[in-house]
A and B are shown apart, each in its own frame.
Chain A
Amino acid sequence: MKYLRSWLLPAIALLVAFAVGALMMKIQGANPFIAYKSLFTSAFGSSAGIAKTLGKATPLIISGLAVTICLRAGLFNIGVQGQLLAGALASAWAGYAIKGLPTIIHLPLALLFGVFFGALTGIIAGALKAFRGVHEVITTIMLNSIVLQLGEYLAYGPFKEPGQQLARTPEVLNSAKIPQIFGMPLGFFLGVALAVIAWWVFKTTTSGFRMETVGRNKSAAWYAGISVKRSILISMFVGGALAGLGGAIETLGVVGRYEPAFNGGIGFDGITIALLGRANPLAVIPGSILFGGMRGAGASMQFTAGVSPDIIDLILAIVLFLVTAPLIGKMIKSIRDTEQITTGGWGN
């Protein structure tokens, strides 16, 4: 029953979003069935399609996890995008600027650069929260802008590819590129493994219990001897590291360099996926596959049904709205209910 209820909301959110999407297509005079069918077959109907879907899902699964872990620890990390860009930028630099290393050293090193700078971006917000009490939503949004602008400056300036008009870094060396097997980036399987590890950590380890206790009741956590500050720092560090890894994988496996225009909304899709999965690390896996499919195959609807792929943005935005709105409604309702039922007594 409880299991069912927890999946009801995401299911309804998806259904409603697809229904509204269909309605919009209908208004445009397109056939939503053909559009959705082509979306589905293009995303999952062939091995090439599946490879593309999983490729798109890779940064999503990792950034979804980054948000999920922070959510479990009671933090709303809206800064995945910034952490991801920091990771992308750092790994791109390590990928083209460090020369003469074999793949077995160069690739992990470049990934590590991404992880480290992502984590650094995350822990700035974590430290501000832990030591100064600044709300993480504010700081992570600000950091998103800072990293974006910094990346643009570097890509136009010091990191710019020589003789190139566009703002972008040189291409990473082959020794830092992620090899493809069956045309599928290895990153996705790493993402799945990380999701399973995260699930296990929360389910069975004392560290997971510590973080989760802080997420649910800070006062009780402190009373029980759990350091709230440490938990905030750790979760923002891990979240940032994951997001940075996501950015690095995208850079070293797909894009091949840093360019400011790339990967616009991966971090934000990660937020939707995490909320849709109700902060369950395992739920991030199907969520990212679904979103990856839609992102990867959206263009197919243009050919078959004449539907602009922008409709995908609309559908995903509705999903985000629906998974967040009830949380707010529930909050308001619970406040009202406690006011009414509380009868007090014993001077309480």
Chain B
Amino acid sequence: MSALLELTNITKTYPGVIANENISLSVTKGEIVALLGENGAGKSTLVKAVFGLVRPDSGEIRIKGDLISAGDTAAAIEHGVGMVHQHFQLVPVMSVTENIILGDEPRKGIFIDKKKAREEVVALSKRYGLEVDPDAIVEDLPVGMQQRIEILKALRKDVDLLILDEPTAVLTPQEIEELLGVIKNLASAGVGVLFITHKLREVMAVADRVVVLRNGKTAGATTPKETNEEGLAQLMVGRNVVLQVDKSDAVKQGIVLSIRDLQANDDRKHTAVDGFSLDVHAGEIMGIAGVEGNGQRELVEAICGMRPRLMGSVLVDGLETPDMQPHKVHRMGISHIPEDREKHGLVASYSIEDNLVLNQFDQPPFANGWIRNSNALEQNANTLVEEFDIRTPSIKTTAGALSGGNKQKVVVARELSQNTKVVVAAQPTRGVDVGSIEFIHKQLVSARDHGAAVLLVSAELDEILSLSDRIAVMFGGKIVAILDGKDADRAKIGRMMAGLAS
């Protein structure tokens, strides 16, 4: 049987980066192939090449035996390739039906034939067993449902090969389970599925075959039967990774961070944090689990003085911290590893040296009054680069030139090197390579062991589970439950994250 998709020796280079190097891969009818790799391993580039969004330098793309010329999106679509992007491309104010037919509407004269369109959507949804409400407005739907619409949109064009780019990144555990079910159904209906992920569990659950990319090269190809999660992780990073974080039991001391009835709005002025109260003790890591968009970002910003607190207070050692003054909150002992490090955490065009003192540049020893002390800056930078394993040619290198993981290490080094009572870490390992993740996790544990109260907010349930001493599950701006980290159960937390009763 000829392959649905056959890639031979695909190579793509960007200035200074080899995104793909001689990658070969095939998908046959009804097969689920997982493309696994760390961030920056070249997964997205490869699938974009298949869909014609990226023009490879060399190599051959064959779909159903036909040679497809590089960068020919139209040919890819004609040959039955459908792609669901990581970022949804839906019109939020339009209905499900309108979104699905968009770009190829059934017409009646110059008008859209709405009745026919709706029928078509219902039929499509039945055919693949993907239930949707054809009349619902997209922005009212949960993320998992929106993704389903994206998939239907792709399937509508008689797709034989469906490409899913990081489809589970934004989903709750329940939605992930459902999606994996959908993928299996599609495959049994004869659709070939190529899906990108860096989550080992998903690969083990659905893939027929796995292709692992590392630094743009094929690190290995295997099947879930022949390997396990540890084996896949090793292929991904090329060495043994400790998936479980090594940590001793927490030595819990007094309450340091106390959040009382906190209320805050999101950017659209809707209530995002809705009467949130939590105590965090010195010497513990408190994890906030939750699907993104349930008020975590607003919570962190309100705590750190970066978003107006409409009600409630944030206390450090019993002292109230000021509203909307991030610097003063910081001085009172709350260190903050911000979610958006490019925006808040770093000045990309500044040297590492300057970035390492960004929120204390005017304090001794870094400044004597009005004059900055370049010796102290250098000394500080040299120490921290060494201590936090920041891989850089020089402390004068601009932060923007570093990799994601090293940028984050600069932020972590700056925040954790100061004498801090509370560490608020928001998505501290997002977009960071596995090696750096491991390192950052160790640093957070060590901050805890030195007596800091750590508040960890992460969309990665695995990260929460492996680091936290206690876990607060957040849904709709409130805490649903607080669990002991040791006996936290993934499925139970997942249900709580989805807002279902525990």
Q: Flag if B359 contacts A225 (CB, 8 Å).
A: yes
Least Cβ–Cβ distance between A250 and chain B, in angstroms: 32
Residues 309-348 of chain A, each 1 if its beta carbon lies under 8 Å from chain B, else 0: 0000000000000000000000000000100111111111
Complex Cα distance A337/B328, Å?
38
CB distance from A59 to the nearest CB of B (A): 29
Least Cβ–Cβ distance between A74 and chain B, in angstroms: 11
Tell me, yes or no, whether A220 is within 8 Å of chain B by CB. Answer: yes
Cross-chain contact B430 with A347 (CB below 8 angstroms): yes
Q: How far is the CA of A348 from the CA of B460 in the complex (A)?
A: 12
Q: Does B316 contact A (CB under 8 A)?
A: no
**A223 close to B431 (CB less than 8 A):** no
Contact with A along B415-438 (1 / 0, CB 8 A): 000000000000101111000000
**Other-chain contact of A223, B43, B306, B354, B429 (Cβ < 8 Å):** B306
Q: Are B326 and A341 in contact (CB under 8 A)?
A: no
Known contacts A207-B370, A340-B54; decide if A220 and B86 are in contact (CB<8 Å): no
Residues A225 and B43 in contact, CB atoms below 8 Å apart: no
Chain B residues with Cβ under 8 A from A223's Cβ? 306, 326, 336, 338, 344-345, 359
Q: Can you list, as one digit per residue, whether each of B336-368 has a CB less than 8 Å from chain A (1) or not (0)?
A: 101010011111111000100011011000010
Among residues of B, the one whose C-beta sits closest to the C-beta of A227 is B327
Could you tell me if B460 and A346 are in contact, using CB atoms closer than 8 angstroms? yes
A347 and B429 form a contact (CB under 8 A) = no
Q: Given the known A-B contacts A344-B39, A345-B431, A346-B460, are A206 and B372 also in contact in the complex, defined by CB atoms under 8 Å?
A: yes
Set of chain B residues within 8 Å of A348, measured between Cβ atoms = 169, 430-431
- Picked from B166, B292, B348, the residue with its CB within 8 Å of the CB of A344 is B166
CB-based nearest A residue for B169: A347
- Size of chain A's interface in residues, with CB distance under 8 A? 27
A217 and B350 alpha carbons, distance in the complex (Å): 10
B100 interfacial by beta-carbon distance below 8 Å: no
Chain B residue at minimum C-beta to C-beta distance from A203: B372
Q: Is the CB of B347 within 8 A of A345?
A: no
Scan residues 186-214 of chain A and give those whose CB is less than 8 A from a CB of chain B.
204-207, 209-210, 213
- Which residues of A lie under 8 Å from residue B19 when comparing CB positions? 341
**Distance in Å from the Cβ of A245 to the closest Cβ of chain B?**
22
Q: A69 CB to closest chain B CB, in angstroms? A: 17
A223 to B345, CA, bound (A): 8
- Per the bound structure, the CA–CA distance linking A342 and B14 in Å amounts to 11
Decide yes or no whether B3 CB sits under 8 A from chain A: no
Please determine whether B44 and A344 come into contact, CB atoms closer than 8 angstroms: yes
- For B459, list chain A residues within 8 Å (CB): 346-347
Chain B's nearest CB lies how many Å from the CB of A224?
4
Q: How far, in angstroms, from A206 to B348 measured CA to CA in the complex?
A: 19
Q: Does A222 sit at the interface, judged by CB under 8 A?
A: yes
- Is A28 on the interface with B (CB-CB < 8 A)? no
**Chain A residues in 8 Å Cβ range of B165:** 344
Question: Which residue of chain A has its CB nearest to the CB of B427?
Answer: A346
Asked if B45 is an interface residue, CB under 8 A from chain A, the answer is yes
The reply to whether B39 and A343 contact each other, CB–CB distance below 8 Å, is: yes
Task: Please tell me if the beta carbons of A347 and B370 are within 8 angstroms of each other in the complex.
Answer: no
B170 CB–A CB distance under 8 Å:
yes
Interface pair B170/A219, CB less than 8 Å apart: no
- Once the chains bind, are B430 and A219 in contact (CB under 8 Å)? no
A216 contacts the other chain (CB 8 A): yes
In the bound complex, residues from chain B placing their C-beta under 8 Å from that of A343 are 39-45
Interface string of B132-174 (1 = CB under 8 A from A): 0000000000000000000000000000000001100110000
Name the one of A221, A222, A341, A345 contacting B198, with C-beta atoms under 8 angstroms: A345
Residues A206 and B359 in contact, CB atoms below 8 Å apart = no
Distance in angstroms from A132 CB to nearest chain B CB is 19
Find out whether the CB atom of B358 lies under 8 angstroms from the CB atom of A345.
no
Chain B 168-201 near chain A by CB (<8 Å), digits 1 or 0: 0110000000000000000000000000001000
A325–B1 Cα distance when bound, in Å, is 56
Residues A205 and B370 in contact in the complex (CB < 8 Å), given A219-B343, A343-B45, A347-B169:
yes
The docked-state distance in angstroms from the alpha carbon of A22 to that of B429 is 58
Does chain A have a CB within 8 A of B17?
Answer: yes
Q: Which residues of the other chain, B, contact A207 by a CB distance below 8 angstroms?
A: 370
B348 proximity list for chain A (CB < 8 A): 216-217
Which residues on the A side are within 8 Å of B347 (C-beta)? 213, 216-217, 220-221
A216 to B394, CA, bound (A): 21
- Assess A216 versus B350: contact at CB under 8 Å? Given A343-B40, A346-B460: yes
Please measure, in the bound complex, the distance between the C-alpha atom of A221 and the C-alpha atom of B45, giving whole angstroms: 34
Check B309 for interface membership: any CB of A closer than 8 A.
Answer: no
Chain B residues with CB under 8 Å of A216's CB are 347-350
Would you give the shortest CB distance from B165 to chain A, in whole angstroms? Answer: 8
Known: A343-B43, A344-B166. A225 touches B430 (CB 8 A): no
Expressed in whole angstroms, the Cα–Cα distance for A348 and B432 within the complex equals 11
Q: Flag if B166 contacts A347 (CB, 8 Å).
A: yes
Q: Which residues of B contact A206 (CB under 8 A)?
A: 361-362, 367, 370-372
- Inter-chain contacts of B359 with A (CB < 8 A): 223-225
Nearest A-chain residue to B354, judged by Cβ: A209
CA distance A206 to B361 in the complex (A): 7
CA distance A222 to B54 in the complex (A): 38
- Apart from A224-B358, A225-B330, list 11 A-B contacts with CB within 8 A: A205-B372, A206-B367, A209-B354, A213-B350, A217-B349, A223-B344, A224-B326, A224-B359, A344-B166, A346-B431, A347-B170
Q: List 26 A-B contacts (CB under 8 A).
A: A205-B370, A205-B372, A206-B361, A206-B367, A206-B370, A206-B371, A207-B370, A209-B361, A213-B350, A216-B347, A216-B348, A217-B346, A217-B348, A219-B343, A220-B345, A220-B346, A224-B326, A224-B361, A225-B326, A337-B14, A341-B14, A341-B19, A344-B169, A346-B460, A347-B166, A347-B459
